[in-house]
Amino acid sequence: MYTVSDRRNAIRPYVLSIQIDLKHNRPWRCEFCTKFARESVWMTSEWLQLKTPSMVSYVHLVCNSEIGECAQTLSAINSEMQSLAGAPPRPLPKLSRNGTKYPMAASCVNCNNEAKESRKHLKQCNRCKITRYCSTDCQRADWARHKVFCKTVKEVKWVWA
């Protein structure tokens, strides 16, 4: 018999990968302005106690989730979602921002090379058709991280908004 917390532990590696792998899927623009998206923020609502457990993840692609107008809009949406779904908003883990930017959407998930020429020929992972790599070397180097997402992603029902 699985408990809710067993189930939560089982999906955790997958959930942590969503925000990374999805961001490196398409040349997303910020959903609030026209800049390139550099960050993804996700929120989930879970129904893990059900016989057929399910989880809905909302993934927001934004230019900046901490500073500026888009960050404020995002935070307002998060609060609204929280009051509707009872799910706490989950911000990105704080990396050391110190002037450094998060890698651009659709850059190689492994080396994060943002050069235009490098982003032109990126291939998606053969298995999941989601995550992009500039080379087989980068794909191989990222496999330990990517494999959980790659293997479970078939079960996901996508709603692109």
Tell me which residues touch Zn ion (CB under 5 A). 30, 32-33, 63, 70, 108, 110-111, 125, 127-128, 134, 138, 150
What does each C-alpha distance from 39 to 2, 82, 114, 122, 133 come to in angstroms?
34, 20, 14, 19, 18
Nearer to Zn ion, 101 or 127 (CB): 127
Q: How distant, in Å, are the alpha carbons of 19, 26, 134, 141, 161 from that of 119?
A: 19, 11, 7, 18, 24
**Shortest Cβ 137–Zn ion spacing (Å):** 7
User: Nearest distance from residue 119's CB to Zn ion, in Å?
Assistant: 10
> What is the rounded distance in angstroms from the CA atom of residue 94 to the CA atom of residue 115?
25
39 versus 46: smaller Cβ distance to Zn ion = 39
d(CA 59, CA 161): 10
In whole angstroms, the minimum distance from the beta carbon of 87 to Zn ion comes to 23
The smaller minimum CB distance to Zn ion, of residues 48 and 92, is found at 92
* Closest CB to Zn ion among residues 78, 110: 110
* Nearest distance, CB of residue 127 and Zn ion, angstroms: 4
